[in-house]
Structure 1
Amino acid sequence: MSLKDPNSVNSKRPKRVAIVIANPATSTTTGWPVGFWWSELAHPYHAFAEKGYQVTIFSPDGGQCKADAMSDPNDPSGYSSGDLISQGFIHTESLRALVDNTKPVSALNVADYDALVVAGGQAPMFSFENATDLQRKFVAFYESGKVTSALCHGTAILRYAKLSTGEYLVSGKTVTGFANVEEDFADNAVWEYGILPRGQHLMPWRIEDELKELGANYVQAGLWRGFAIRDGNLITGQQNFSGAETASVIIEALGE
């Protein structure tokens, strides 16, 4: 089924996009609570809403989801204080309710949606290995020819997604995701401020290294630069500053 197949996209109705955010998890490297990243939900959601798309928020298990603290514009760290789009999302009651009551991925019907977006945050690195429903739905979207996307640490899904042939979906694909240079920056920051002992990494494994190991052509635009890339109907975004870029490539792929 191709993107132009009239059975997969009905031009008489609004485009429909499913965004998946991670359920709360616990980091096995730090013991900290981890979750999704606000900008990777709010920025794509905003872009799709401006196009009149219908957006539904899912999570692997459904229910209430929680964001990584530093992604919240109101966090004392001030790291995301300039993120006005996420601030608006958080303080819009009807939108915040969608995060507090996500639908389980098991209820996601591929035929009902034109595109799938898997957002990041720290939790995917610790929880997507066991998110087998998400792995299957990601592959089902891809093999049906529909736009299939992941960004930042959400690209952890590509470590587990296998085609019906048994091959890794990412093998031979040009993709991006959280870069080693960004992992280095994050590790050095927590070491410098004494948050973690030097040599203890935030992440249990690295996106760039793993995707290369699986046969992907991994590319990136540099430290903290917004970047997204398309290979057929697979779209990936580099990191938390790439939500708008990822949404833009998805919108273009959907022909809108």
Structure 2
Amino acid sequence: MLNIDRLDAFYGQSQALRGFSITVAPGEVLCLLGRNGAGKTTALKAIMGAVTRKVARIELDGVDLVNLPPHQIAAHGVGYVPQGRRLFAELTVRENLEIGLMARKSGATALAKALSYFPVLEERMGQRSGTLSGGEQTMLAIARALCIEPKIIILDEPTEGLMPSMIAKIRDVVVKLRDEGVGVLLVEQRIDAVLPVADRIAFMDHGEVKAEFGIEDVRADASILKKYLGIGH
């Protein structure tokens, strides 16, 4: 269980996150939705210790992560796929995956499991990651995070810029991870990518979680999306 309570984050003197509180259980997909600038990406960076923060609590299975640097947070089992993938473009697919393995000192079994989600990567192991297609780069970024055998995986707009067939592939992987007991914290702009996979949705605005709903409530009541996102479904 990932438990975040009253997380504040700052860019310089500007407060970007205010009292951010969520939980993500094993085998659950929680999606953060909100307009551009609502604080979704900042929330993910703050969890990983990548922005200045003041917190009451960040715990994973009762272990306090508050004062740990990002690489140690990963070592405790939090996988992170940032917006834009952030691959090492000059390194091969294999070398990028090996960096993921190093984060938690994982071995061949973890690598094989990560590749099982994206078999096409096995054919690209010697290829520089910067020469992959956009969809393949997204696969690699997720596979690299899976190399740490995460308890929780954090995905920041993984379907951004992808064609529908690749979006469906990413969605299927999210469902598979959930079914295998991995907790998933997902930021997405695409409502159609969220509704089939999320268990709960937390709506953000101005750095705060304004409301949370179970997915069935959101599917049944289009006014919820209109209220918090300004759109109809």
Report the TM-score when normalising by structure 1: 0.30
Report the TM-score when normalising by structure 2: 0.32
